[in-house]
């Protein structure tokens, strides 16, 4: 049987949306900016939750020197109404975050998205990323290469009935400014409940910021692939890179 162009298009669209309806959701990433001295970095992740169809927005404020959240953050919001727009929930978290954004003047220092490797990228390695910290031509400085290893760990209390093991990660520099390195930036020993039930990770990108005074600040962006309602979900965590010793 042959279909006309219009009917074929409808059938193709129906198949696409049927597949999409059975998939997990991957949050979008939006950087907000750095404080002038680079000691604070903020970003937003947002999307529509699989299964429920509820829109959500989470805004994170990170102390890049202590590798911790600022007091009173993250700001997390989900509107449990299927017909609510994503714009509405993002506007509400932006309003809640406005005081901190203004306090640290984050919009004045957007930083540089030095590398980006989302789940839609099909030819880049999910566990290795090479970048430079300055957006100039000809290049200034050497390459930085990040590698990520997944680590099997005991599941958290909330995940022990979901999966026999959870996955942690180790993040390592192989090169820093063109020089060989084996510096460990992060290594899990347990699984925080905030990650839900992680099944894997990707190196999602790197933010870089060059303050007027002081050393450049790098923040590695890691995608957490966790057990979701209809498939693996993707959420973002940021790992500040401490200055080289």
Domain that holds residue 194: 23-241
83 found inside a domain: yes
What was the pLDDT predicted at 51? 74
Residue-wise pLDDT tens digits, 87-131: 999 999 999 999 999 999 999 999 999 999 999 999 999 999 999
6 found inside a domain: no
Residue-wise pLDDT tens digits, 201-238: 999 999 999 999 889 999 999 999 987 767 789 999 99
11 found inside a domain: no
Tell me the CB-side half-sphere exposure of residue 147, using CA atoms within 13 A: 11
96 found inside a domain: yes
**How many independent structural domains does the chain possess?**
1
79 found inside a domain: yes
14 found inside a domain: no
134 found inside a domain: yes
Residues 167, 152 contacting (CB under 8 angstroms): yes
140 found inside a domain: yes
Among 152, 195, 155, CA closest to 170: 152
pLDDT category at 194 given cuts 50, 70, 90 is confident
pTM above 0.75, yes or no: yes
CA-angle at 44, arms to 43 and 49, nearest 5°: 155
Residues 206, 238 contacting (CB under 8 angstroms): no
């Amino acid at each position: 049987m042959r279909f006309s162009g219009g009917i074929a298009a409808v059938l193709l669209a129906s198949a696409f949306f049927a597949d999409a309806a059975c998939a997990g959701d991957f949050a979008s990433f939006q950087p907000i900016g750095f404080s002038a001295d680079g000691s604070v970095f903020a970003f937003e992740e947002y999307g529509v939750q699989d299964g429920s169809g509820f829109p959500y927005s989470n805004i994170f404020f990170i102390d890049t020197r202590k590798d911790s959240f600022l007091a009173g953050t993250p700001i997390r919001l989900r509107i449990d109404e299927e017909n609510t727009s994503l714009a509405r929930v993002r506007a509400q978290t932006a309003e809640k975050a406005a005081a901190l954004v203004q306090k640290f003047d984050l919009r004045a220092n957007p930083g540089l998205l030095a590398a980006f490797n989302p789940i839609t990228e099909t030819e880049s390695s999910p566990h290795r990323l090479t970048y430079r910290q300055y957006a100039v031509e000809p290049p200034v400085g050497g390459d930085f290469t990040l590698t990520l290893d997944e680590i099997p760990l005991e599941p958290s209390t909330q995940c022990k009935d979901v999966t026999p093991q959870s996955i942690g990660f180790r993040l390592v520099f192989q090169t820093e400014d063109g020089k060989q390195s084996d510096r460990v930036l992060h290594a899990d020993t347990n699984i925080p409940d905030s990650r839900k039930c992680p099944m894997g990770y990707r190196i999602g990108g790197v933010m870089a910021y060059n303050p007027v005074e002081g050393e450049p600040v790098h923040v590695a962006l890691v995608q957490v692939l966790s057990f979701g309602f209809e498939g693996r979900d993707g959420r973002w965590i940021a790992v500040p890179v401490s200055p080289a010793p």
